[in-house]
């Protein structure tokens, strides 16, 4: 089974939703099909590498492309994903020095700069000295 055929098999499980998401990268982030590799196949290679921690040699066998081609497509999709992340991921605001009340004031220096320190939840824990 070629890489293209494998990609099509993946798409048939929930074709409409999958194609809509993958095609968004064509419209919004200028990811394009080339002569022998579709956007869907590029994305499938990328997601297999990052989602399953697959090495180039495994992707090479699965999709039947050279390591150089896979490397090129990986970084092409990664670049588009970085633009996607800038558009979608919005940092939340947080207070790096929360007003910790009463007897917990000493914890302020422990959690200084921590993002919300577990959303301002303090959990009392006692760890045995030998651990």
Task: Using a pLDDT cut of 90, give the percent of the chain over it.
Answer: 9
Quick check: 30 and 83 in contact, CB under 8 A? no
pTM of the model: 0.56
Q: Where does the pLDDT of residue 75 fall: very low under 50, low under 70, confident under 90, or very high at 90 and above? A: very high
- Give per-residue pLDDT as tens, 44-55: 899 889 888 888
Quick check: 41 and 7 in contact, CB under 8 A? yes
CA distance 130 to 97: 32
Q: What is the CA radius of gyration of the chain?
A: 23
The domain segmentation of the chain, as residue ranges, is 3-88, 92-123
């Amino acid at each position: 089974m070629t890489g293209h055929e494998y990609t099509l098999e993946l798409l048939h499980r929930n074709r409409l939703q999958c194609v809509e998401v993958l095609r968004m990268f064509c419209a919004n982030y200028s990811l394009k099909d080339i002569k022998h590799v579709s956007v869907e196949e590029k994305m499938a290679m990328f997601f297999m590498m990052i989602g399953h921690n697959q090495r180039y040699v495994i992707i090479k066998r699965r999709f039947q492309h050279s390591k150089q081609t896979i490397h090129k497509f990986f970084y092409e999709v990664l670049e588009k994903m970085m633009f996607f992340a800038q558009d979608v991921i919005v940092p939340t605001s947080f207070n790096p020095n929360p007003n910790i009340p009463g007897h917990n004031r000493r914890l302020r220096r422990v959690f200084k700069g921590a993002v919300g320190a577990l959303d301002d939840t303090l959990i009392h824990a006692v760890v045995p000295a030998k651990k």
